[in-house]
Structure 1
Amino acid sequence: MNANLTYPLTMPHQPVLPAKRRFARTLRREPTEAEDKLWHELRGRKLDRIKFRRQVPIGRFVADFLCAEAMLIIEIDGSQHADSSHDRERDNDLMLRGFRVLRFWNDDVMRELDSVWDTIIAYVRDMSLEPWR
């Protein structure tokens, strides 16, 4: 086995390249204001005792937040993500891996955090719910 590869907890059969791991660490050190605000509420199982990890490498992508138990990825998007073909490709790849991708705008997190919490809890608790965007 190659000692330079590490394996994420969610997908032990797929190696994560060291460059992707370093990129995820950089994203953890330099969060956006909205990511930082949401992480403050998600970390340490503060939100309804649900376990989340942040900036998790999955395949060629890095998920903003991951609840592995519910196979749910939470993405916090700025305006540059509006109608992004890259995001559609990314979401399709992640969905093929069995994940659901729930997206919120930065403004949602900054202004309507209670609604964001309620939505996240609902999606974690009900695996049949499918994201709307």
Structure 2
Amino acid sequence: MAENRLRYAWRNRGLDGHKIIRQFPVGPFIVDFACRDAALVVELDGGQHAESDADAKRRAVLNAAGYSVLRFWNNEVLSQRDAVLSAILRVIAGAPSPDLRFAPATLSPRGRGTRGARAAGGARYLREMRATLAPLRETDEGRTRL
């Protein structure tokens, strides 16, 4: 229900002209919402869900993929939808344009193209991502507050 309230608020680029995608794949995860232009992920959590170690690891992987993560409780969306939308817009407004977030393509000495540090360390990046997704435990932190 909370997801629907947000989705209807910003359908047809209704969030200041930004396209928000629901159930968007980022790496090994499907996130609730993503704004690719601003490299932003918005996650909604029910009352039974406190930020766990799994969420912290998920956040680390999403951050490593270049995305900022905002988390809101479902009841925040249901009772304070406009405040949630304002918080999301503030983050989007402060995000650099896509051309500033990604390094331009360069040629390596061997003639192969690379794109930023992530491409150069691809195998290392995959090892780190797998290590980040190791066994998971619960904790309570990292929630976005209004």
The verdict on a shared fold, with TM-score over 0.5 as the criterion, is yes
Alignment partners' CA distance in 1, 2:34 and 2:94: 16
Long gaps (5+) in structure 1 = 1-32
Identity, % of aligned positions: 41
Q: Are 1:54 and 2:22 matched, yes or no?
A: yes
Q: Is the 8 A contact 1:75 1:102 kept in 2?
A: yes
1:115 matches 2:83: yes
Q: Does the 8 A contact of 1:91 with 1:101 survive in 2?
A: yes
Name the aligned partner's letter for residue 47 of structure 1: L
Q: Provide TM-score, normalisation by structure 1.
A: 0.70
Query: 1 CA distance for matches of 2:46 and 2:52?
Result: 11
Higher relative contact order (CA 8 A, sep 6+): 2
- Native 8 Å contact 1:81 1:87 kept in 2: no
Task: Give structure 2 stretches of 5+ with no counterpart.
Answer: 97-141
d(CA) in 1 for partners of 2:45 and 2:10?
17
Instruction: Give how far 1:58 is off.
Output: 1.2
Please report the TM-score for the alignment, with normalisation by the length of structure 2: 0.64
Within a 5 Å distance, the mapping from 1:61-76 to structure 2 comes to 61-76=29-44
- Distance (Å, rounded) in 2 between the aligned partners of 1:115 and 1:85: 27
CA contact (8 A) 1:53 1:65 kept: yes
The answer for the alignment partner of 1:102 in structure 2 is 70
In 2, Cα distance between equivalents of 1:98 and 1:81: 25
Q: Does residue 42 in structure 1 map to residue 10 in structure 2? A: yes
Asked which structure has the greater CA Rg, the reply is 2
Deviations 1:72-95 (A, max 9, x none): 000011123213111111001100
Paired residues, what number? 98
Identify the range of structure 1 (55-64 vs 78-87) with the bigger mean alpha-carbon deviation. Answer: 78-87
Tell me which stretches of 4 or more aligned residues in structure 1 moved more than 6 Å.
none
The Cα RMSD (Å) is: 1.3
1:76–1:104 contact (8 Å) kept in structure 2:
yes
